[in-house]
């Protein structure tokens, strides 16, 4: 087996991985809702995908950051100090 550096997901603890899964689910729900509700109100034409995804990505990014901050304040470790190889 070749020696590779740990990925960022390898550095997450179980609560951190659950927070990541919740963030991914939030992104999926936001993406679906934006096409279901907001997309119908757009004028006819073609729009780049980043136009729809950027607000959702920003909300998910801040959701993960705030969730990490709250968990760390409560004493729940989100990132592992030592990552086993």
Q: Six-digit token pair at 12? A: 């997450």
CA distance 38 to 41: 6
Is residue 11 included in any domain, yes or no? no
Task: With 0.95 as the threshold, say if the pTM is over it.
Answer: no
Higher pLDDT, 46 or 20: 20
- pLDDT band for 6, please (50, 70, 90 cuts): confident
Q: Is residue 80 situated within a structural domain?
A: no
**What average pLDDT does the segment 60-76 reach?**
95
* Summary mean pLDDT of the chain: 86
Determine, yes or no, domain membership for 56: yes
* Any domain includes 1: no
pLDDT in tens, 20-44: 999 999 999 998 988 788 777 777 7
- Is residue 84 situated within a structural domain? no
State the total domains in the chain. Answer: 1
4 part of a folded domain: no
- Alpha-carbon Rg for the chain in angstroms: 17
Containing structural domain, residue 52: 18-73
């Amino acid at each position: 087996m070749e020696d590779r550096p740990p990925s960022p997901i390898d550095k997450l603890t179980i609560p951190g991985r659950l927070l990541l899964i919740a963030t991914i689910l939030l992104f999926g729900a936001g993406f679906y809702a934006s096409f279901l509700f907001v997309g119908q109100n757009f004028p006819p034409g073609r729009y780049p995908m980043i136009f729809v995804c950027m607000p959702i990505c920003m909300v998910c990014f801040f959701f993960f950051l705030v969730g990490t901050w709250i968990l760390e304040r409560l004493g729940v470790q989100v990132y592992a100090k030592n990552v086993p190889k």
